[in-house]
């Protein structure tokens, strides 16, 4: 957790140093732009790729506590002891407008589906 905090602080310093950004940079730093990776996200393809690399991590959403979408409380307890997680890019607990909410829900649905399928591999 402390490495994640240090990484986050470093990222904030780097972003703060860039006072002039191009439109493309602004798009990726906007809440919706940060979720643009979902346009190409496909659970079947992503699971197959992860398994080919022996990557059994589950997707988590940062917020006022980490959430692992798609798992019951019992599964989360089991997953926390046996599986690793990775944070979903662009996902957090602040939703800025209806369009952002649409993309956020798409990300949550993706994570639910991915995690439900990956859990079986992770727990083996």
Predicted confidence pLDDT, tens digits, the chain (124 residues): 555 444 445 444 444 444 343 333 334 467 788 888 888 899 999 999 999 999 999 999 988 888 999 999 999 988 888 999 999 998 888 888 999 999 999 999 999 999 999 999 998 8
DSSP output for the chain: -HHHHHHHHHHHHHHHH--S--HHHHHHHSTTGGGGGGGT--HHHHHHHHHHTT--PEEEB-SSS-B-TT--HHHHHHHHHH--EEEPTT--S---SHHHHHHHHHHHHHHHHHHHHHHHHHT-
pTM score: 0.73
Burial of 1 (0-12, 13-18, 19+ CB in 10 A): exposed
């Amino acid at each position: 957790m402390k490495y994640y905090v240090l990484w986050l602080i470093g990222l904030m310093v780097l972003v703060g140093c860039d006072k002039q950004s191009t439109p493309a940079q602004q798009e990726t730093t906007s809440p919706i732009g940060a979720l643009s990776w979902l346009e190409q996200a496909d659970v079947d393809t992503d699971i197959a790729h992860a398994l080919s690399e022996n990557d059994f991590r589950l997707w988590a959403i940062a917020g006022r506590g980490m959430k692992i979408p798609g798992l019951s409380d019992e599964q989360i307890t089991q997953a926390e002891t046996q599986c690793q997680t990775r944070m979903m890019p662009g996902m957090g607990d602040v939703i800025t407008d209806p369009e952002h909410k649409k993309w956020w829900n798409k990300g949550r649905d993706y994570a639910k589906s991915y995690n439900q399928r990956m859990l079986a591999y992770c727990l083996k």
